[in-house]
Structure 1
Amino acid sequence: MLGLVALVPALILLAVHGWSSAQTDESTAAPPIDPTVSVPTPTPALSTSLMTFRRMPTIISRDLNGAAFEAEIAPFLATLNDRSCTVISVDGQEIGARNADIAVIPASNQKLLVAAVALERLGEDFTYTTTVRAAAAPVDGLVEGDLFLIGGGDPLLSSNWYPDSNLELHPVTSPTSLDALADGVVAAGVTRVAGAVVGDGSRYDDEFFAPGWGVGVQGLEGGPYDALMANDSRVLGEDLRAADPNAAAAREFVQLLEARGVVVDGDAVSGTTPADTVEIASVASAPLSSVVAEMLGTSYNNTAELMVKELGVTDATPGSREGGLAVIRQQLIDWGVDVAPIVLSDGSGLSLDNRITCSALASVVQRYDSDSPIGMGLPVAGQTGTLSDVFVDHPVAGRLRGKTGTLNNPPFNTDPPAVKALSGYLPVEGGGEVEYVLILNGPTISDQSEYRPIWNQLADTLNTYPAGPTPAELGPR
């Protein structure tokens, strides 16, 4: 074996020598140097040999620091109760874990599964499209009959007033403009609609809320939602979210059309679009990578639920929660994840019926890194999204990225337990990163006085890596 190892560098040198000789043979004469042309000073070549450990700094650093990091992790693992779990790894290699295979309630860490599978199945450049159709093109500005507003599942469809309305804790940052769609209708020559404006969300089924949501969640934390939803089912001038997102979007669209001088004779209603219609206008969303980033950064529940339904769309049936969750489960199987303990009830993680293992979630987190659409979409400690006020003065501020998750448990002395979760990445200087999954379940674990010390200890522990030489220090010179 040693002879083979010794032979490899020799073969490489021999190949390089042969290539160099061939290049020399092909050049019969060197071109003359033009004294009037300025020749730039070449960048100094790295002095590091091709056959040195410095060509693999991330791997070498992980191997040198693994044992020390494992020792640092041990005290943190011992603090977790028997209903909580964690997995900590470096560049996909597990360093420490506790209760990794027990089924726990994930809260909004469920969105990591949805995001990963959506990117895998739909692609990061996928866009949602909302269209307006009619039985025929306008004649002299008149649309005979109804105008159909057809939803494509876009969770960020918004009127221009909505992002600045302060109606949401985290405003929409990548909205799809419903105003632009109204402008498109006017640009198509429409000045009057003889019929109604019909909101059509038939791309998905009519389940507006997922089951298993706790008291006070419906209509506040999530839903109602459908393939056609604008402003999270809000209409300018109406105090509450509308019960039917399709009809609400139609009412909002009528206001936008009328503000542009279009006369609508009929009402705003919900319904379906006939087969034989022509397109009047359309508007596309931001790419899926941006939609995923918004969902993860602000923990946007409606986006997660609609993304699940989009995964469930087939040629024969509308998108459904059950269909989308089946796609997620199958993708996890395809990735080699043990799904036996996993229960998928919704996409947002609001359901108390969801169950996942830290081992399963860690395997998904490890498929990506902090520079991927998943990693780039996560909140940054002390700076953005749901981590903007967490770890503000900690050394991991501006570096650690993580998906938060919270479920309260009134009354606290009965099951199911409350949940506090945090999973993501801590990049390492010079390359590589620490991946972590932490899901805390307990009667009062969502109280800040209880979970913050655990989160702080996690951050302290992660920040000890690497104790020895970093990839930057081991890299080529």
Structure 2
Amino acid sequence: MPAVTVARLPLPRPSRPSRALCAIALCLAAGAHAQQPQPLPAEVDAALTRAKLPRDAVTMLVADADGLRPPRLAWRTQVPVNPASIMKLVTTYAALDLLGAAYTWNTPVYVEGSIANGVLNGNLYIKGQGDPKLVIERMWLLLRHVQGLGITSVSGDIVIDRSAFENTVENDPGAFDGEPLRPYNASPDALLLNFKSVNMTFVPDRGGQFARVSYEPPLAAVAMPQTVPLSPGECGDWRTALRADYGDPNRIRFNGGFPAACGEKSWAVAYADPRSYALRAIGGLWAEMGGRVGGQMREGRVPAGLKPAFEFASPPLPEVIRDINKYSNNVMAQQVFLTLGLTQKNRGTFEASRGALVQWWRERIGTGEAPPVFENGSGLSRDERISAAALGRMLQVAWRSPVMPELVGSLPALGVDGTLRKRTLRSGGAAHLKTGTLRDASGIAGYVHGASGRRYVLVAIANAENAGAARAAFDALVDWTAQDN
């Protein structure tokens, strides 16, 4: 059964900045004035030299998380920079602060007509409202709930309503980074189902000289080969060996073979026609569950005045933002960003979301630093900007907030999980940090646990053609921050 939605009363907002916020502002301001004489730590400076990165290509801030002392390091902290995926920190903290840690997305399901002998004599409507984690397993549960109403056949249509997010269009999935098959490049959608992707599993059958192929989810009216020939040679680049063709929305083709040396392998790819994906996936899943449709699968709007038969709840917001921050999920971040426009401005558009975030920033973070420049809230953008001073101030405010444990727990733990699973400190220290990487932007930001027991906010971002080479300098900065005793 889906989770029960729990309401949470909004936290009261102060009408004027608190003393703690004023202290944070004064300390960061002091750091801004003092930043020019502050040298970079020697090991950080040396790492930048080895990476051939100019000092004016980076911005760095290290300050106490409680904001009650001047920063330990403030280097070019007032300069707005492209933060890449670090911008997800702002989106996810704003969501926790505005929506509350108990927030869930509800997907209402409507039944139009009478039910008799397992047949709905009318239409079934599913209305998307932005759930970022409506994966195929959860859609199966939703459809099982429909069957629990006594419906195994719909004489009319199954209709999906995606109107909650206005004017969202399917972008070219390869336009940003040339990776059109990657599910993370999916466009946001009020009914975002399974990230609009198909997961294929290949299992060799050596006796039969072929590999069996299974698909999740099954897509209605799409031809999907059940086997692919085995080919000789090492496993190697088995995806290339398949010579897959995903360009036809009505058919998946494999023009090559699957290397016999490979064991079981899985490959998730974006579907060629993302706009029709939800219709095909729901139709295929409904048929696999024994359901029937007399009419058609189509888009439309729920008739005015029709009440939902039930509402299917998402996991709570903290679980969603863990996926966003630990694995840097772009489309989920954009779903949350659009949700803020929908809930705060009553419009599910990027424009409304930008307005909601700027207003929240001025009310909660303050006017001491310029608000960020938002585009889609995920960092998958060439235009988003924020300064290290502004991000550091937000992280300090977040540290003192009731939702601090949820935010910190969503960040990759150094050497433990997420995008930092394989990175460790020489000092053995601990940190929770969000990473960000684009072609010409790289960074890391979050919280570092000092050996003295103090907690620090750290922001380090490089904007340059070879920004990725700054990684060693960022690691050295985290190590320097942790060794504070």
Measure how far apart 1:342 and its partner are: 3.4
User: 2:159 touches 2:300 (CA, 8 Å); kept in 1?
Assistant: yes
The alpha-carbon distance between structure 1 residues 305 and 244, as it changes in their structure 2 partners (threshold 3 A), is farther
Q: 1:210–1:402: structure 2 CA closer, same or farther, 3 Å change rule?
A: farther
Match of residue 270, structure 1, among 289, 299, 304: 299
CA–CA separation in structure 2 for the residues paired with 1:305 and 1:329: 16
Matched, 1:88 2:62: yes
Distance in 1 (alpha carbons) for counterparts of 2:336 and 2:197: 20
The question of 1:252 aligning with 2:281 is answered: yes
CA contact 1:128–1:154 (8 Å) conserved in 2: yes
Q: Which residue of 2 aligns with 1:214?
A: 176
Looking at CA atoms only, which structure, 1 or 2, has the larger radius of gyration?
A: 1
Aligned match of 1:363? 393
**Does the 8 A contact of 2:369 with 2:389 survive in 1?**
no
Q: What is the DSSP-based 3-state SS (H/G/I as helix, E as strand, rest coil) of the residue aligned with 1:394?
A: coil
State the secondary structure of the residue aligned to 1:327: helix
Overall identity of the aligned pairs, in %: 28
Q: Which whole-Å CA distance do the structure 2 matches of 1:213 and 1:400 have between them?
A: 34
**8 A Cα contact 1:201 1:246, kept in partner:** no
| Alignment-derived partner of residue 284 in structure 1 | 313
Q: Distance in 2 between matches of 1:309 and 1:287?
A: 17
Aligned to 1:75: 42
**DSSP 3-state at the match of 1:458:** helix
1:174 corresponds to which residue? none
Cα displacement string for residues 15-67 of structure 1 (whole angstroms, at most 9, x for unaligned residues): xxxxxxxxxxxxxxxxxxxxxxxxxxxxxxxxxxxxxxxxxxxxxxxxxxx9x
Question: 3-state SS of the aligned residue for 2:56?
Answer: coil
Residues 362-397 of structure 1: CA deviation (Å, up to 9, x unaligned): 111112349621111100111100111122x63346
Unmatched runs of 5 consecutive residues or more in structure 1: 1-65, 161-176, 409-417, 468-477
Taking a change above 3 Å as real, the CA distance of residues 217 and 360 of structure 1, as seen in their structure-2 partners, is farther
Deviates further, 112-121 or 140-149: 140-149
Partner of 1:122: 99
Question: Across the two proteins, how many residue pairs are aligned to each other?
Answer: 370
Q: Which residue matches 1:474?
A: none
- Matches of 2:367 and 2:292, distance apart in 1: 56
- One-letter amino acid of the counterpart of residue 383, structure 1: V
Distance in 1 separating the partners of 2:479 and 2:101: 34
Equivalent residue for 1:44? none
Deviation of residue 288 (structure 1)? 0.6
Give the direction of change, closer, same or farther, for the CA distance of 1:117–1:291 in structure 2 (3 Å limit). same
Task: From 177, 183, 187, give the equivalent of 1:224.
Answer: 187
**Structure-1-length-normalised TM-score:** 0.71
Q: Aligned partners of 1:265, 1:380: CA distance in 2, in Å? A: 51
* CA pair 341-122 structure 1, distance change in 2 beyond 3 A: closer
Letter of the structure 1 residue corresponding to residue 140 of structure 2: D
Is the contact between residue 83 and residue 442 of structure 1 (CA under 8 Å) also seen in structure 2? yes
Match of 1:186 in 2: 147
Distance 1:146 1:315, change over 3 A: farther
Change (3 A) 1:116 1:382: same
**RMSD of aligned Cα (Å):** 3.0
**Residue number among 444, 465, 474 corresponding to 1:443 in the alignment:** 465
Give, in whole Å, the separation in 1 of the partners of 2:165 and 2:178.
25
| 1:277-316 alignment runs, 5 A limit | 277-313=306-342
**Would you say 1:378 and 2:411 are equivalent positions?**
yes
- What is the CA–CA distance in structure 2 between the aligned matches of 1:261 and 1:209, rounded to whole Å? 31
Q: Quick check: 1:333–1:339 contact (8 Å CA) kept in 2?
A: no
Q: Is 1:419 matched with 2:441?
A: yes
Structure with the bigger percentage of strand: 2
Describe how 1:110-149 pairs up with structure 2 within 5 A: 110-149=87-126
Name 1:346's counterpart in structure 2.
Answer: 376
Deviations 1:273-304 (A, max 9, x none): 11132423432111111111111111010111
Partner of 2:432: 401
Aligned partners of 1:85 and 1:98 also within 8 Å? yes
Quote the residue 1:195 is aligned against.
156
Alpha-carbon offset, residue 216 of structure 1: 2.0
Q: Secondary structure at the match of 2:347?
A: coil
